Structure 1
Amino acid sequence: MGMETGTAAGLSKTLGGWHLWGIAVGLVISGEYFGWSYGWAQAGTLGFLATTILVAVLYTTFIFSFTELTTAIPHAGGPFAYSHRAFGPMGGFIAGYATLIEFVFAPPAIALAIGAYLNVQFPGLNPKLAAVGAYGVFAALNIAGVTIAATFELCVTLLAIAELLVFMGVVAPGFAWSNFAAHGWAGDAGASSPAALGGVFAAIPFAIWFFLAIEGAAMAAEEAKDPARTIPRAYIAGILTLVALAFGTMILAGGVGDWRDLANINDPLPQAMKAVVGADSGWLHMLVWIGLFGLIASFHGIIMGYSRQIFALARAGFLPAALSRLHPTRRTPHWAILAGAAVGIAAIFSDEVLAFGGQPLTANIVTLSVFGAIVMYIISMASLFRLRRTAPEMARPFRAPGYPLVPATALSLACLCLAAMIYYNPLLFGVFVALLALGWLYCRRAAGRPMAGASVETVVEPGL
């Protein structure tokens, strides 16, 4: 189960610090534009604010710890490689497939939001067909070349950040704390009531959506110049950027009117701005058009992320070897890009399969993606602790600050989030487990039970 040779190796080291920061923030920034408002439906504005604070602590401690792994093992597989090194093939399988579920199911949710934003301008446009068109455009851009793709990602990320700042400035005059706090706890109960506490935990997936996929920058580590220096800077600057944008966007959007009108829709920011400036304002039209850059940044970046994860898993024998082949001239994992797109497009049209439990399709896809993320966070933090014990000689250009308290905080909060998500989403957790089981069956059958025979060295050492 060693790596494929020939066209499977040779990712180009062309990405600098700004590219990596753009990827880290761009992967996530669509979470500020949509998805999070479903958390209001679960917890109310004040309850969801408490959830978001909890999750922000989780992500901040996680990123400061995860960066140690990323710089010590710069590999396109990211968490797959770290967990394989720490726990062997089984650890690699769990982390790799959990990350794959996270990154393959996040793009269809974003694509549906792109369709919803376009539908605001063109009411006759079918949002699902627009979502499929987005896959075609950005899969092609990712195939064109990693430098082109990363430069585009940086540009649209900067535009998306600028647009969020414009949104905050335009709606700020219409903000009132009384609007934000009205009906602020689940069930209109007090903060200490069981209903309010339950809402806080039920809303966890949508607070995670604010930050989901920032770890995907690790999958560009093989293509980074001087990863020991550039990756820590990109990650730390990235998480600080995202925390500021998440709280600013959520609080201001919730205080401009009746927030309940925004709780179950895919375009909360245009609707919040409409309440302040009116439906005919040029500001609103600007938000719809430029706001698409936020969705595009994450959509495009996560396609880049899932393609590297598929590439790394296939290179190590955990997926069909053909998915590890690179384009002969562009040196991009084109088959991996197309395979992930096929799964995403199927999810877009999976209403009868994934639209259950009284939740919209987008909310369920978001939750399924978050299950993958949380499982990956848990095994990544466990890998950090194990590698500190079993490989103390490993070069660690960046060491987790406050060890062991900081990574232990991330691990504990991730376990808490997973338990709450299983309790409130048992059917979706069943879907998640079923997807892992299908992956396990493939790994057991392919190449003579490769899970038992993989070499740690061949998996985690890219040999570039």
Structure 2
Amino acid sequence: MPTTDSHHPIAENHQPTLKKVINTTQLWAIAVGLVISGEYFGWNYGWASSGTIGFLIATLLVTVMYITFIFSYTELTTSIPHAGGAFDYANRAFGHVGGFIAGFATLVDFLLAPPAIAYALGSYVHFLHPLIPVIPTAVAMYVIFIGINIFGIKESARFSLFVTILSVAELLIYIAVIVPYFKTENFVANNPPISTNSIFAGIPFAIWFFVAIEGVAMVAEEVKEPRTTIPKAYISSIITLVVLALGVMVLSGGVGDWRTLSTIDYPLPETLSMALGKNNSLSKIFASLGLFGLIASFHCNTISYSRQLFALARAGYLPAFLASVNKKYQTPHWALIVGGLVGTLAILTGTTDKIIIMSVLGAVVMYGTSMVSLLVLRKKEPLLDRPYLAPFYPYFPIIALLLSFVCMCAIVYYNVGLSLLFFGSMLVCLVGFLLIFGVKAPQKI
């Protein structure tokens, strides 16, 4: 059985490579930064369909999925530390068709998360300064952060650490401020009857609390000592996010009438307004500081989508120019720019809730393919060097696989049109892929 990655494209000397500069603290910051905007907005749309109690149950279900997934996914990330992430794992387990499906799902996940975050950034700025329009602000975010990322991953990682620490600190302060105003009767009031339907309808927005943490795999090639750095960063980040997500969601629901928060992109400043009064300066200050959380996620997701485009192009699945690396900064500049154009188009054509649903649908498909890849590779390549082993194997990956399938079914059931768009696009692209490459794996373009 093969024990090395000699057959993988990145092992070939002529292939473009990325710099190894990221340490454990910086990787934790990237992992938390990828996700932390989910604590600031997006999840609250789940209240509209599920109520606070049904959504809490959905969130606990999704939390179990993510805990089992991350502890399992870490084995793949440390064993195969390539920028392609799930694409590389499925390609190794199932061949190029499996790699294509995983790569497509991951691209949808990471290309559509940033426009949703950018739109929320625009909404937060508009909340602060009503004369500033939402969409131009959202597009401007792409221009700014593509520029930052082109200047190098080391600088980007330092920036991620700075804004992520500020974001975590701000959420902890937010929790401390609203605790005295929490009332259980507010949290349980006006809830629809608890049912399977009410719980499952909220699943896409519960996933938004954690979606994109898997993006750490996209920077695995740029991590120093990945055997120890990746497990430490992944495990510490999921603990951080679970505490913040449950704290923010539960406490926010008990401050006032949660229904007024279920359709807006700035639920946290609005919650503070309920607690402290509409004219309280802390609400405006918090909205200003709240931009840090959105910036952290937007910045880190920009890193991730560019590395996924880079990896797919380097493997021959996308045009070769997307695998170009800037000679001076050693960053995938064309992948950054093209992904930004796709995100801008999504901002102009979609709405936040629909973009979120498409992104999380791509995510759960990717989670499922990754867990199956883990199970297959354990049998197919028993001698593969595995610096980290998934605990409670095979139960953790099987639980993550089953829950990701349940989540996918729930998303499809409640969002038939968007699901048809997702799977229809995947099928069309797969047919085109097979017509071009046939049954053979693609050669480097």
TM-score class, shorter-chain normalisation, is: over 0.9
Counterpart code for 2:426: L
Aligned to 2:221: 222
Q: Deviations over 1:241-292 (max 9, x none)?
A: 0000000000111111000000011110010011111233231122111110
Q: Contact conserved, 2:317 with 2:442, CA < 8 A, in 1? A: no
1:166-185 equivalence runs, <5 A: 166-184=173-191
Aligned to 2:402: 412
CA distance in 1, matches of 2:241, 2:360: 17
Counterpart code for 1:256: V
Aligned to 1:102: 109
CA distance in 2, matches of 1:294, 1:7: 39
Q: 1:128 deviation in Å?
A: 0.6
CA distance in 2, matches of 1:433, 1:28: 25
- Residues 432, 293 of structure 1: CA spacing in aligned structure 2 closer, same or farther, 3 A cutoff? same
Aligned to 2:231: 232
CA distance in 2, matches of 1:450, 1:300: 37
Q: 1:440 deviation in Å?
A: 2.1
Q: Contact conserved, 1:114 with 1:292, CA < 8 A, in 2? A: yes
- Residues 330, 451 of structure 1: CA spacing in aligned structure 2 closer, same or farther, 3 A cutoff? farther
Q: Deviations over 1:303-329 (max 9, x none)?
A: 100000000000001111110001121
1:196-207 equivalence runs, <5 A: 196-207=195-206
1:388 to 2:378 alignment = yes
Counterpart code for 2:441: G
Aligned to 2:151: 144
Q: Which runs of 4+ in 1 moved over 3 A?
A: 1-8
Q: Deviations over 1:20-47 (max 9, x none)?
A: 1011110000000000000000100000
1:332-343 equivalence runs, <5 A: 332-343=331-342
Q: 1:3 deviation in Å?
A: 4.3
Q: Deviations over 1:124-152 (max 9, x none)?
A: 11101100011110111111110111110
Aligned to 2:434: 444
- Name the SS for the 1:289 alignment partner: helix
CA distance in 2, matches of 1:114, 1:274: 19
Q: Contact conserved, 1:160 with 1:293, CA < 8 A, in 2? A: yes
CA distance in 2, matches of 1:300, 1:67: 22
Aligned to 2:70: 63
Q: Deviations over 1:79-111 (max 9, x none)?
A: 100111100101110111100000000111000
- Residues 292, 451 of structure 1: CA spacing in aligned structure 2 closer, same or farther, 3 A cutoff? farther
Equivalent of residue 119 in structure 1, options 121, 126, 145: 126
1:158 to 2:148 alignment = no
CA distance in 2, matches of 1:203, 1:149: 34
- Name the SS for the 2:408 alignment partner: helix
CA distance in 1, matches of 2:375, 2:431: 29
CA distance in 2, matches of 1:254, 1:334: 42
Q: 1:368 deviation in Å?
A: 0.2
Q: Contact conserved, 1:27 with 1:301, CA < 8 A, in 2? A: yes
- Name the SS for the 1:75 alignment partner: coil
CA distance in 2, matches of 1:163, 1:279: 20
Aligned to 1:245: 244
**After alignment, is 371-380 or 417-426 more displaced?**
417-426
- Name the SS for the 1:396 alignment partner: coil
Counterpart code for 1:278: G
Q: Deviations over 1:174-233 (max 9, x none)?
A: 11010011123xxx32x3xxxx32010011000000000001001111000000000000
CA distance in 1, matches of 2:269, 2:439: 48
Q: 1:444 deviation in Å?
A: 3.3
Counterpart code for 1:274: S
Q: Deviations over 1:28-67 (max 9, x none)?
A: 0000000000000010000000000000000000000000
CA distance in 2, matches of 1:52, 1:111: 24
Equivalent of residue 389 in structure 2, options 376, 391, 399: 399
RMSD: 1.7
Question: Where does the alignment leave 5 or more consecutive residues of structure 1 unmatched?
Answer: 352-360, 460-464
Q: Contact conserved, 1:318 with 1:450, CA < 8 A, in 2? A: no
Q: Contact conserved, 1:319 with 1:443, CA < 8 A, in 2? A: no
CA distance in 2, matches of 1:280, 1:168: 20
CA distance in 1, matches of 2:337, 2:63: 33
TM-score by length of 2: 0.96
CA distance in 1, matches of 2:109, 2:84: 14
CA distance in 1, matches of 2:177, 2:171: 10
Question: Where does the alignment leave 5 or more consecutive residues of structure 2 unmatched?
Answer: 1-6
- Residues 370, 54 of structure 1: CA spacing in aligned structure 2 closer, same or farther, 3 A cutoff? same
Q: 1:441 deviation in Å?
A: 4.4
1:277 to 2:267 alignment = no
Q: Contact conserved, 1:443 with 1:451, CA < 8 A, in 2? A: no
Aligned to 1:33: 40
TM-score by length of 1: 0.92
Counterpart code for 1:77: G
Q: Contact conserved, 1:256 with 1:275, CA < 8 A, in 2? A: yes
- Residues 438, 332 of structure 1: CA spacing in aligned structure 2 closer, same or farther, 3 A cutoff? farther
Q: 1:6 deviation in Å?
A: 8.2
Q: Contact conserved, 1:317 with 1:450, CA < 8 A, in 2? A: no
Q: 1:437 deviation in Å?
A: 3.0
Aligned to 2:4: none
Q: Contact conserved, 1:307 with 1:336, CA < 8 A, in 2? A: yes
Aligned to 1:435: 425
- Name the SS for the 1:452 alignment partner: coil
